[in-house]
């Protein structure tokens, strides 16, 4: 009797210890503070229901500070177990410094194409250190009611685009386009890299720039600046001091007709607008040209090499790589499109519109992100500055392109 009790005790102790080993709390570092509710209400419960013993804690910081905060935390050893990865060099540097674990062997990685993995692989592609999570697509979101009221159609070419803007401006009841230059990055991200791929022919131009066969002063790279230089008069009074949240509010309050956008705006806008929204891809230079869209690998997710719970973290990452996560994520966050090879059906019509361009147009990623922003001066930061200056008219398109080219050539050997 006594012996039996002892055995039971021993067995239960072993069991308890086993359960204890499974008990892991994974802290997730992210810059997506807008997604806090979605993680807490949808993603985390779905994962925890399937994986008892692992709890998740989503701790985002402000997007502009994320890289600096994360680097400091990693150096100090206080970062979370799961790291949301910026694409390209920021994460590559973390991998090189031993902060991100190599995930090449993760079973779930088989669900992704090489292009999807390119944002989070070493230059030679031998190691992948983050699971590709989502991409964002650039284009223009418009107010359908405003378009009907003014009597304009969705523009297909650059000439039509400016005709639409002129007509809205003439009508006077709407600000033609909601964008400001105060925060600078919109000018580059939603301006230059949004309309640019049509001129530099997407991947073709981007790869040629990396290889040193094209220069930023070539026509394909200056033409988008020429178009941006014409945007200023359509942006509304005081656009120089208009911030990113200002632009979002102007559009969602129905005061502006067109919003140069990234698809990440969709979920936020859906809850704010009381009019119907539509979207169109960047108008092509001439009717019949192939259209190119910026379909940018934006979010990956990896594992802190110093985590205390590598097994639990891998279980979570495998789940992130699964079609199940892709469906939850894509529908919870319309506008962030899964990169996994499986087809995902989206319920949100606006997000489906963006996603449909993948079939119609050629996809590319932002020109400055891969390799070209490794040196000093930083090409991405300079592009922000140049795009804002061109829109404000304080720098000519040619001067801006020349400045960027000189900056790039000063450290990038293939351009010298």
Among 8, 13, 97, 113, binds other proteins (CB under 8 A): 97
* The one segment of 114-122, 174-182, 223-231, 317-325 that binds other proteins by CB under 8 A: 174-182
Q: Which stretch binds other proteins (CB under 8 A): 77-85, 197-205, 264-272, 371-379?
A: 371-379
Only segment of 9-17, 90-98, 155-163, 219-227 that touches other proteins (CB under 8 A): 90-98
The distance from CA 70 to its chain's CA centroid, rounded to whole angstroms, is 18
Instruction: Verify binding: residue 182, other proteins, rule CB under 8 A.
Output: yes
Which residues are registered as beta bridge partners of 304? 100
According to the binding rule CB under 8 A, does residue 243 interact with other proteins? yes
Q: Which is nearer to other proteins, 24 or 70 (CB)?
A: 70
From 5-13, 134-142, 330-338, 384-392, span contacting other proteins (CB under 8 A): 384-392
SS3 string, the chain, reads CHHHHHHHHHHHHHHHHHHHHHCEEEEEEECCHHHHHHHHHHHHHHHHHHCCCEEEEEEECCHHHHHHHHHHHHHHCCCCCEEEECCCHHHHHHHHCCCECCCCCCHHHHHECHHHHHHHECCCCCCECEEEEEEEEEEEEEEHHHHHHHCCCCCCEHHHHHHHHHHHHHHCCCEEECCCCCCCHHHHHHHHHHHCHHHHCHHHHHHHHHHCCCCCCCHHHHHHHHHHHCCHHHCCCCHHHCCHHHHHHHHHCCCEEEEEEECCHHHHHHHHCCCCEEEECCCECCCCCCCEEEEEEEEEEEEECCCCCHHHHHHHHHHHCCHHHHHHHHHHCCCCEECECCCCCCCCHHHHHHHHHHHHCEEECCCCCCCCCCCCCCHHHHHHHHHHHHHHCCCCHHHHHHHHHHHHHCCCHHHC
Segment near other proteins (CB under 8 A); pick from 180-188, 210-218, 317-325, 334-342: 180-188
Does residue 184 bind other proteins (CB under 8 A)?
Answer: yes
Q: Does 240 bind other proteins (CB under 8 A)?
A: yes
12, 59, 207, 410: which one binds other proteins (CB under 8 A): 410
Choice from 369, 390, 397, 400 touching other proteins (CB under 8 A): 369
Joined tokens for residue 236: 């509304």
x-or-dash string of contact with other proteins, 281-310, rule CB under 8 A: ------------------------------
Residue 106 or 389 having the CB closest to other proteins: 389
* Closer by beta carbon to other proteins, 302 or else 334: 302
Per CB under 8 A, the list member of 52, 233, 238, 414 interacting with other proteins is 238
Cα 400 to chain center, whole Å? Answer: 25
Sorted by sequence, the CB contacts under 8 Å of residue 90 that are 6+ apart come out as 67
- Binding residue for other proteins, selected from 6, 9, 68, 287, defined by CB under 8 A: 68
- 113 interacts with other proteins by CB under 8 A: no
Q: Is 388 in the site for other proteins (CB under 8 A)?
A: yes
- What whole-number distance in Å separates Cα of residue 365 and Cα of residue 367? 6
Q: Per DSSP, what are the bridge partners of residue 259?
A: 141
Residue 381 CB, nearest approach to other proteins (Å): 6
CB of 410 to other proteins, least distance (A): 7
Of 38-46, 233-241, 284-292, 303-311, the segment contacting other proteins by CB under 8 A is 233-241
Closest approach, Cβ 67 to other proteins, in A, equals: 6
- According to the binding rule CB under 8 A, does residue 239 interact with other proteins? yes
Residue of the chain from 121, 128, 143, 242 that contacts other proteins (CB under 8 A): 242
Residue 15-54 contact track with other proteins, rule CB under 8 A, x = bound: ----------------------------------------
In angstroms, rounded to a whole number, what is the distance separating the alpha carbons of residues 235 and 190?
Answer: 13
Chain residues that interact with other proteins, rule: CB under 8 A: 64, 67-68, 71-72, 88-90, 93, 96-97, 180-185, 236-243, 246, 249-250, 368-369, 373, 376-381, 384-385, 388-389, 392, 394, 407, 410
């Amino acid at each position: 009797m006594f012996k039996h009790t002892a055995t039971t005790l021993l067995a239960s102790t072993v069991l308890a210890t086993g359960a204890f080993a499974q008990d892991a709390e994974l802290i997730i570092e992210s810059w997506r503070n807008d997604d806090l509710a979605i993680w807490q209400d949808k993603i985390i419960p779905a994962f925890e229901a399937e994986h008892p013993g692992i709890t998740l804690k989503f701790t985002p910081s402000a997007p502009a500070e994320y890289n600096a905060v994360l680097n400091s935390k990693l150096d100090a050893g206080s970062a979370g177990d799961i790291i949301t990865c910026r694409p390209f060099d920021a994460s590559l540097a973390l991998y090189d410094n031993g902060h991100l674990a190599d995930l090449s062997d993760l079973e779930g990685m088989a669900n992704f194409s090489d292009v999807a993995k390119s944002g989070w692989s070493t230059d030679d592609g031998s190691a992948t250190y983050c699971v590709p999570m989502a991409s964002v697509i650039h284009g223009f979101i418009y107010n359908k009611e405003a378009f009907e009221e003014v009597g304009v159609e969705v523009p297909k070419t650059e000439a039509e685009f400016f005709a639409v803007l002129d007509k809205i401006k003439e009508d006077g009841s709407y600000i033609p386009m909601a964008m400001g230059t105060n925060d600078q990055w919109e000018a580059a991200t939603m301006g230059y890299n949004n309309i640019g791929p049509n001129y530099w022919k997407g991947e073709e131009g981007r790869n040629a720039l990396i290889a040193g066969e094209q220069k930023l002063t070539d026509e394909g790279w200056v033409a988008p600046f020429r178009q941006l230089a014409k945007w200023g008069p359509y942006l509304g009074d005081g656009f120089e001091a208009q911030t990113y949240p200002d632009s979002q509010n102007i559009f969602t309050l129905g005061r502006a007709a067109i919003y140069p956008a990234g698809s990440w705006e969709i979920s936020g806008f859906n809850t704010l607008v009381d009019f119907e929204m539509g979207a169109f891809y960047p108008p092509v230079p001439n009717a019949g040209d192939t259209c190119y869209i910026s379909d940018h690998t934006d979010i990956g997710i990896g594992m802190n090499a110093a985590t205390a719970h590598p097994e639990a973290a891998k279980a979570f990452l495998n789940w992130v790589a699964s079609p199940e996560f892709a469906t939850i994520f894509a529908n919870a966050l319309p506008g962030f499109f899964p990169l996994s090879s499986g087809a995902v059906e989206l319920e949100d019509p606006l997000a489906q519109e963006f996603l449909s361009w993948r079939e119609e147009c050629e996809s590319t990623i932002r020109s400055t992100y891969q390799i070209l922003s490794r040196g000093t001066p930083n090409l991405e930061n300079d592009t922000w500055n140049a795009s804002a200056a061109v829109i404000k008219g304080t720098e000519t398109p040619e001067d801006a392109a020349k400045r960027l080219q000189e900056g790039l050539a000063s450290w990038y050997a293939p351009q010298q």
